[in-house]
Structure 1
């Protein structure tokens, strides 16, 4: 099961867990209420045969997918790419990721602008709403294989913070304030 927690402010290696002392965990309902992030647990051994992912894709209109391996061996300019992924940004569309192998962390800003770290392991699927400030990093294992899902053709543009004037950011904050994100 996915774990999420509020992060400390320690500037050391981004791949560390970065728990507060004492740790302050966030359950799935609170994660959703504070960020709009949706979580699904998939059976990784049956992901291509049990129909669960296909049903989610159909329901949400995800029509394009690919896979990405992020590791020192498979990603050109590995350290540079990790810095880019870890730069706080947003996208105009949802960011949908399914962890197939390995592990990593998605950090998302809550409604009070505090970081919540979400650990993803095989079978974890996250849907980050368009307009949410977030970032990604590997953990100390330095490996993840993930499916990326999109509505239509992939939109890769990341807008680094601050871009609070963008309509997707304003829409996101309004939906979050009104509690309009579909529940977990």
Structure 2
């Protein structure tokens, strides 16, 4: 199909592109290809949308390592059978919330829906449907009721903060509020910030874990 034919039959070309890619020629030379959004997304990798210098790119490598290292802890979480999301995806979503100071779960849902970098960080494919907003909120709140999940989440948050605190607007008050829900973590919450940066949880010791 020539460029002139495309110009004269835009609606027809777009309709045809829903079924197959349409090659467009100019002066008998390949010029462009018209594809539907569905086909384009299916052929794309989510990594294609991630800026190489995004702060989340550096943090994700670290978070991937930490979660993989603690995979046995995640697999053992009692919350796994009570939420629709994978616990590791819920943890990643809550990391985004606390690192970017996103005020509500509903706002977080909207950010993940519209931000390709957030989708990539959480572990969703480019064309994967997002969780229902109500279910998403319910799952995150249920996860925060699990002390093991919160301890893992905040340990990773604290370590990620040490790696890239300058790149994020970390909501330390929100993170501490998650910890204060659980007696086991309450005693690890420092009274004041430390000069070196946000200190969400004091290091665990045997007496505290008893």
TM-score normalised by L of structure 1: 0.25
Greater CA radius of gyration, 1 or 2? 2
Which structure: greater helix fraction?
A: 2
TM-score normalised by L of structure 2: 0.23
Relative contact order: is structure 1 or structure 2 higher (C-alpha 8 Å, sep ≥ 6)?
Answer: 1
Which structure: greater strand fraction?
A: 1
